[in-house]
Amino acid sequence: MKCMEKLRRLSACLLLVLFTITITACGKDGTGQVGENRETSENSGLVTVGYVQSGTGSAWSLANVESIQQNCTEENGIKLIYEVANDDFDTQLEIVRSFIEQKVDLISFTPMVSEGWDDVLKEAKEAGIPVIVMDRMVETGDDSLYNCWIGSNFLLEGYKAADWLVDYMDSLNLGKDMYKVALFQGNLGASAETGRTQGVEEILGAEGNYKIVYKDTGNFSYDGGVENMKKVLKKKLDIDILIAENDDMALGAIEVMEKNGIKPGKDIIILSFDGIKAAFEAMIEGKINCVMECNPLTGKLLANAVQTVMNGDPISKRNYVQEEIFPADTAADYIENRKY
Ligand code: GYE
């Protein structure tokens, strides 16, 4: 990787760290809507949390929901109202508005897309209801509209994954001047998509010998992987590499490749994101070459953050989860301990 590129990314990471520390130091005034004097739900003493997941079309999101349900429990002082928006942004907004009408103590959600949240967040703020954003980010003109965010550094995931790819392709010594890449994106406008797309494109672009010959959304779903792979074959693009922004899409694409006599992981190098068990199995079978992990087990962090926010204690604005990269030759060592 080029030296300037490394320096640039290092400073981007440092800035993120500094930003997080600064916000921690700002304490509870960071939002202006901490529920310090709010009564928790009448009678029960529990904090009522309205949570809406954007969709459950991937194994990752199912694991994420399960983690939230297992941790946001009455034993942990939380009465969880769980909803899912079936990947429809307007539905998700409506559900958040219904939480405001129900006067829940705290609202949390995984935004379907990053933009378009300002109005409803202002309504929550006016109603004095704190907000914790999960997983994907919101882009608002005013960060005080939510208390904190918990999730992954998607841009860094993109960088790490593409860095691995470049090293791996170099190690294969195929003697090609140019590698043709298909990029299957997640839901367009979700920060999990925009971050990964940007990270991958920046690194491959800087290398000069990678050409993205196909780029389209598969909406983070298995079927999206199937449809896109069929298109790639129909267009006879003769790709060397598939980058799928989640495992489900990679697995869908693998099905199509195999039906067409193409050996996934060999004829086409495959890199994907998330790290679900099925992807580890595919790596062991030699069908996926590498997985960049994205950790969905954030339910405990949410449960803790709910208590922190409700107590009016300081909390970092952005809370990143730890994630690793798993090349196929490490999969057998880790598969037993995969929790999702
Ligand atoms: O990678 C994908 C899911 O937002 C991180 O959404 C999440 C992504 C995840 O549907 O599988």
Span 198-236, pLDDT tens digits:
999 999 999 999 999 999 999 999 999 999 999 999 999
Q: Is residue 196 in contact with ligand 1, taking CB distance under 6 Å?
A: no
Give the other-Cβ count within 10 Å of 76's Cβ. Answer: 17
Q: Give 42's pLDDT tier (boundaries 50, 70, 90).
A: low
**Packing angle of the helix pair 154-172, 191-207 (nearest 10 deg):** 40
Mean pLDDT (the chain, rounded): 90
pLDDT digits (tens, 9 = 90+) for 83-101: 999 999 999 999 999 999 9
Does the pLDDT at position 16 exceed 80?
no
Q: Is residue 294 in contact with ligand 1, taking CB distance under 6 Å?
A: yes
CA of 123 to the centre of ligand 1 (A): 27
Query: What fold does the segment set 154-294 form as a domain?
Result: Rossmann fold (3.40.50)
Q: Give 17's pLDDT tier (boundaries 50, 70, 90).
A: very low
Q: Is 141 exposed, middle or buried (0-12, 13-18, 19+ CB in 10 A)?
A: exposed
Q: Is residue 105 in contact with ligand 1, taking CB distance under 6 Å?
A: no
Average pLDDT over residues 295-301: 97
For CA atoms 236, 237, 242, 243, the dihedral sign is: negative
63 touches 299 (CB < 8 A): no
For CA atoms 306, 308, 312, 315, the dihedral sign is: negative
Task: Compare 16 and 102 and report the one with higher pLDDT.
Answer: 102
Question: Given this model, what pLDDT does residue 44 score?
Answer: 76
Q: Where in the chain is the domain with CATH 3.40.50.2300?
A: 47-152+297-322, 154-294
Give the position, in ligand 1's atom list, of the atom nearest the Cα of 191: 4
Q: Is residue 246 in contact with ligand 1, taking CB distance under 6 Å?
A: yes
Phi, psi of 295 (to 5 degrees): -90, 115
What is the C-alpha separation between 219 and 183, in angstroms, rounded?
Answer: 12
Q: Is residue 220 in contact with ligand 1, taking CB distance under 6 Å?
A: yes
Of 25-29, 173-177, 310-314, least confident by mean pLDDT is 25-29
Picking from 155, 137, 154, the residue whose alpha carbon sits closest to that of residue 146 is 137
Give the position, in ligand 1's atom list, of the atom nearest the Cα of 154: 5
Average pLDDT over residues 180-201: 98
Q: Is residue 179 in contact with ligand 1, taking CB distance under 6 Å?
A: no
CATH architecture of 47-152+297-322: 3-Layer(aba) Sandwich (3.40)
CA of 268 to the centre of ligand 1 (A): 23
pLDDT digits (tens, 9 = 90+) for 91-143: 999 999 999 999 999 999 999 999 999 999 999 999 999 999 999 999 999 99
What is the C-alpha separation between 321 and 275, in angstroms, rounded?
Answer: 14
Question: Given this model, what pLDDT does residue 43 score?
Answer: 57
Choose the residue to mutate in 61, 293, 320 for probing ligand 1, maximizing ligand atoms within 8 Å of C-beta. 61
CA of 32 to the centre of ligand 1 (A): 30
What is the C-alpha separation between 268 and 253, in angstroms, rounded?
Answer: 11
Picking from 176, 73, 76, 193, the residue whose alpha carbon sits closest to that of residue 136 is 193
